[in-house]
Amino acid sequence: MRSVKSLLAAGAASLISSMAFAADMPIAAPPPMYAPPAPPADFGGWYLRGDVGMTNQSAKSIEGAVGPGFTKTTEGLGFDSSPLFDLGAGYRFNNWFRADVTGQYRGKATLHGADNVIGPGFVGSNNYSGSKSEWVVMANAYVDLGTWWCITPFIGAGVGGSYNKISGFRDDGVSYTAGNTPPLANSVAYYADNGKWNFAWAAHAGLAYKVNPGFTVELAYSYMNLGDAAPGNFRLFDNSASGPTSIKLKDLTSHDLKLGVRWDLNSPPVYAPPPLVTKG
């Protein structure tokens, strides 16, 4: 009986000793939970851009020399619509400001208009035809106004130069001079093609949709002021007169609608969390 009690006492003492030893052992800390890295800041970086669109152009007036006592009014002056294409490169400085430089070609737009001239014993009309095209280089700056559902409205402005070229310009004149026989006369004047550089500026507004971190689509409107344009030297149809022209198209402007794209050259990388279960 005493041996059984001794055996039980020894077992209890051994169990108590093992529990005390286990309590003294350090408990291993659980593995840390995965914390994803902070998302990269949404600003900074170079981008390329391209646009296609249509123009709606006009001119304030056609200037031409008239003699003393004569008055001139311009009727129906305008241009047909034409396509435009541009390419550019820019830099986004932060999440609301960016700037770029673009080169734009504006296709030939058919010109139409007429001058009515009245003077002592004279009534006449000059009917103009031809076409106009431009090369435009412009530096632009934009302000993004916030993003909602991946859509960002923006406004901007640009300054630069426009090479305005007049091609195939022609003046079909009809006049009536009292006392002449016959009193009604017709004339046609042809003008050489001519281009000139002008200061140009623009105002922009639009909506941008970010398809993914590196690709954005834009729908934009631009008001363009392109300066003046003039044809080259004139020659009458019968070679009875020729020389420098006095005709000038003043204050060329355009309302443009464009669809554009932007490619970010350093779009942020996409981070993936490590696997939840690891071996080893």
- pLDDT at site 34: 56
- pLDDT at site 123: 87
Domains and CATH numbers, the chain: 44-207+223-264 (2.40.160.20)
Letter string b/e over residues 193-226, b meaning 16 or more CB atoms within 10 A of that residue's CB: ebbeebebebebebebebeeeeebebebebebeb
- pLDDT at site 9: 55
- pLDDT at site 280: 47
- pLDDT at site 33: 61
- pLDDT at site 206: 98
- pLDDT at site 74: 85
* Contact present, 223 and 10 (Cβ < 8 Å): no
- pLDDT at site 106: 98
- pLDDT at site 87: 98
- pLDDT at site 173: 84
Nearest to residue 255, comparing CAs of 218, 226, 216, 217? 226
Report residues of the chain scoring pLDDT below 70.
1-43, 65, 179-185, 267-280
